[in-house]
Amino acid sequence: MSNNNKKKIYILFAIAVLLLGSGLFLLFSKDIEDLEVKGVAGKDCVPYNIFVMPGETDYSVEISWKTRSECLGFILYGKDRGNLDMVAVDLVNKSSSRDHNVTIDELLRKERYYFLVNSQDQAYGNNGSPLEFIIENL
């Protein structure tokens, strides 16, 4: 094989490696970029500083929390840990917000209630389990 043919093979090989490397880089960088966007959006709507406080009346509570971004949130609650069949919404911040405050009225003072904070269509509690409160113990 002549030196001229060897140079052509090396050049073709170098171009093939460069194209393959560029294609793989674009393929994986697109996937990584998509994952980062999804991860950031999800993390920004995770509720933190969740507080349960007595409400303005003897039979109400206020549940408040914050999120890093403006997110839509509400409370799922009920008397049975496995059946959170009632919904309470933030009447002040009806749309997306960073500060959330939900008032739940007409509760029994000695009854145990369970709830999950729903933020951007994801339910949050204590490691997947609902949080709980009794008005009389607040």
The closest of 40, 56, 58 to 101, measured between CA atoms, is 56
Q: Is residue 69 located within the same domain as residue 55?
A: yes
Q: Is residue 35 located within the same domain as residue 97?
A: no
131-136: which pairs have CB atoms within 8 A and are 24 or more residues apart? 131/50, 131/52, 132/81, 133/52, 133/61, 134/109, 134/110, 135/54, 135/58, 135/59, 135/60, 135/61, 135/107, 135/108, 135/109, 135/110, 135/111, 136/109, 136/110
State the pLDDT at residue 64.
Answer: 96
State the pLDDT at residue 70.
Answer: 92
Q: Is residue 4 located within the same domain as residue 32?
A: yes
Q: Is residue 59 located within the same domain as residue 127?
A: yes
Q: Is residue 19 located within the same domain as residue 57?
A: no
The count of domains in the chain is 2
Q: What is the CATH number of the domain that holds 86?
A: 2.60.40.10
Q: What is the DSSP letter of 56?
A: S
Domain extent for 11: 1-44
Q: What does the pLDDT look like over 14-58, one tens digit per residue?
A: 454 444 444 434 344 333 333 333 334 468 999 999 999 999 999
Q: Is residue 53 located within the same domain as residue 23?
A: no
In this prediction the pTM is: 0.68
Q: What does the pLDDT look like over 92-136, one tens digit per residue?
A: 777 788 999 999 999 999 999 999 999 988 999 998 899 999 999
Q: Is residue 34 located within the same domain as residue 58?
A: no
